[in-house]
A and B are shown apart, each in its own frame.
Chain A
Amino acid sequence: EAGVTQSPTHLIKTRGQQATLRCSPISGHTSVYWYQQALGLGLQFLLWYDEGEERNRGNFPPRFSGRQFPNYSSELNVNALELEDSALYLCASSLWRFEQYFGPGTRLTVT
């Protein structure tokens, strides 16, 4: 069974630009979660999508947004990038609120 995949592996952007990160969940999983893992801050919950709907979001500004497609894959968009957005962005998938399976992450560097 294929795991959660994320692309790209690394992304380098300059301040003010937009970044788009992608996630493909495990087949059959309907929920996708996005997290930001910044150095020393642990995992910060960003967004939760289920069945195409945004179910909840963490304490992040509106320039962090996303969507879930009919095939349950998901996209995270970060607009107006700031230096402090540099982090590892993790995607996880699950069946409703059961255990989450994580992808390898996308390392975003903002210069």
Chain B
Amino acid sequence: AQSVSQHNHHVILSEAASLELGCNYSYGGTVNLFWYVQYPGQHLQLLLKYFSGDPLVKGIKGFEAEFIKSKFSFNLRKPSVQWSDTAEYFCAVISGGYQKVTFGTGTKLQVIP
């Protein structure tokens, strides 16, 4: 069965620190990969997506993610976080055919001013 793992459940960083959130999936075929963010009191928003092509994907608010097919990973990065990045981040996978959309369990990021 398809699964998505986000190993970091809660991350605390100081402002200006660099961020990397891990996402690994288990599916051998073609995948579409996404990162979503849920700011406090708001609903889920798309940060970035990967369908094909350049494995380094740039999203909104300075976020980027790298698809490494050999490692089944799609890690999210940001060089310098801000207090406003405090939110919960979800990795998601859609695989070929009539497969389920699978979300990771989320990573709560807390940025300390």
Contacts and interface: CB of A to CB of B under 8 A. Distances in A.
Contact of B43 (A98, A99, A102): A102
Contacts of A41: 105
B43 A42 contact: no
A56 B49 contact: no
B104 A42 contact: yes
Contact of B94 (A42, A43, A97, A102): A97
Interface string A31-62: 00101000001110100100000011010000
Nearest to B34: A99
Interface stretch (B20-28, B78-86, B95-103): B95-103
Interface residues of A, number: 21
Interface string B60-86: 000000000000000000000000000
B102 A99 contact: no
A45 B32 contact: no
- The winner among A35, A42, A98, A104 for most chain B CB atoms within 10 A is A42
Given A42-B106, A99-B34, A99-B49, A48 B100 contact: yes
A64 interface: no
A30 B35 CA distance: 22
- The winner among B94, B101, B104 for most chain A CB atoms within 10 A is B101
A99 B106 CA distance: 17
Nearest to A104: B43
B100 A101 contact: no
Given A55-B98, A97-B94, A103 B103 contact: no
- The winner among B90, B94, B102 for most chain A CB atoms within 10 A is B94
7 contacts: A42-B104, A56-B98, A99-B46, A100-B34, A100-B46, A100-B92, A100-B101
Interface of A: 33, 35, 41-43, 45, 48, 55-56, 58, 90, 92, 97-105
3 smallest A-B Cβ distances: which pairs?
Answer: A42-B105, A102-B44, A43-B103
